[in-house]
Structure 1
Amino acid sequence: MCAQFLVDKILFQKSLSIFSLHLNTIEWKDRILPHSQSPIIEYKNNEYFIELFYFSLVPSWSHDRKPKFATHNARLETVLEKPTWKKPFLKNHCLVPITTFIEPIYEGKFAGNMVKFNLEECIFVPAIFDYWMNKETGEVISSFSILTSEPGEFVRKIGHERSPIFLKQKLKTFENWFDCENNDGKNFIQLLSNRQEPKMSIEIDRPLKKGWEKRK
């Protein structure tokens, strides 16, 4: 899974040239956790935009602002089977910039720690989003879920069983991801299955809380 990540502003700015975008005055917290805001790349009306969306998708049909189940990640293997994910996966795509993602490790030499996976550059990972309206106030919340799959060799060796999906960082690949017209989802599954593992390094973030062994 991916429940915490960082977006370095300098690396993010460098990476925006692929979309011919420049970082504006938006602000976000150093460490992005579920229900906090993150910059995302959205494509609409034939243009790319930088927006701030909430990390943890709130389905449009949800009665509550915060669903009773975790929605910060969507598993690629079941994304077309779950009502929370199916419509956004077919219709609402975005890209999330990540420079570091942070995971708990329960096996191997790093067991018992939260570990930072530091990327050499800002990587855009595929995500899905939805809009939720507060019926009392009319406020509209834009929120997203990062798509995850089985990890590549490096992440697996460190001891984690899930990972964000890393695509080729090419404009054509992103264009294919944003092309939601007349798609039954199978093309997206194929696109997301053709992934890569970027270069990364690791460092210990902090020890896990007491009793972490019970979660192995």
Structure 2
Amino acid sequence: MCDRYIFVQKAGVIRKRFQVFVPENIQWTPSYNIAPGKYAPVIISQQPETLLHYIWGSVPFPTKDKNLFVSHIDAKDLELPAPNTSIRYLIQQQRCLVPADAYIQGTKGHGLSKPFLVYLRKKARPFAFAGIYDTWLDEITGELIHSFAIITTTANELLRRLPCDRAPVILLHEQEKA
């Protein structure tokens, strides 16, 4: 499971690669350490032509505890319990692309002596993680909160050697429009 990722592309590369408008009001700074609870760029299914800035971490509704962002950063694919209709709805209706260059495996209690940088072969960057997003109202501040989580799957044979049991779903370019 990745709990940090890297995205250092400039607006021009993002525009060209994902064919999106990058609004000037997005305060995007390329980062080698995107962590849960931080804002990061996403492309949502409801507005596929615009890059948006959402918080990484999905807070389960209803809650008032923003600290839960850190504990809900991924959504397991095909292992979701049948009664969890809110997650199923998000996967069906509120998908997003999470642009990235690489991710860091092993930064929290993974039994590794050091973290590993994981990226695509032939330096195919940027790419997109599959994600889900949600928008909810903070009842204390009245602020609309836009958040996302990265969909994960069972790690492949190469990643299991780290050891690693989960990995983010990385989409092929042709899957990004689906």
Whether these two folds match at TM > 0.5 is yes
Matches within 5 A, 1:153-172: 153-170=157-174
Aligned counterpart, 1:174: 176
- Among all aligned residue pairs of Structure 1 and Structure 2, give the percentage whose two residues are the same amino acid: 20
Do 1:59 and 1:130's aligned partners in 2 also have CA atoms closer than 8 Å? Answer: no
Give secondary structure in 2 for the equivalent of 1:67: helix
Deviation at 1:136, TM superposition (A): 3.0
Q: How does 1:59-208 map to 2 (within 5 A)?
A: 59-67=60-68, 70-79=71-80, 81=82, 82=84, 85-104=87-106, 106=111, 111-119=112-120, 120=123, 121-170=125-174, 173-176=175-178
Could you list the runs of 5+ residues in structure 1 that have no partner in the other structure?
A: 177-216
Question: Structure 2 CA distance, aligned partners of 1:167 and 1:68?
Answer: 24
Deviation at 1:98, TM superposition (A): 1.2
Q: Post-superposition, which runs of at least 4 consecutive aligned residues in structure 1 deviate over 6 A?
A: none
Work out whether 1:38 is the aligned partner of 2:40: yes
RMSD: 2.5
Bigger radius of gyration: 1
Say how many residue pairs are matched: 168
CA contact (8 A) 1:3 1:33 kept: yes
Partner of 2:49: helix, strand, or coil? strand
User: Do 1:28 and 1:38's aligned partners in 2 also have CA atoms closer than 8 Å?
Assistant: no
Structure 2 unaligned regions, length at least 5? none
Shift of 1:103: 1.2
What TM-score does the superposition give when structure 2 sets the normalisation length? 0.81
Please, what TM-score do these two structures have when normalized by structure 1?
0.68
Partner of 1:6: 6
From the superposition, tell whether residues 175 and 80 of structure 1 become closer, same or farther in structure 2 (CA, over 3 Å). farther
Which of the pair is proportionally richer in helix? Answer: 1
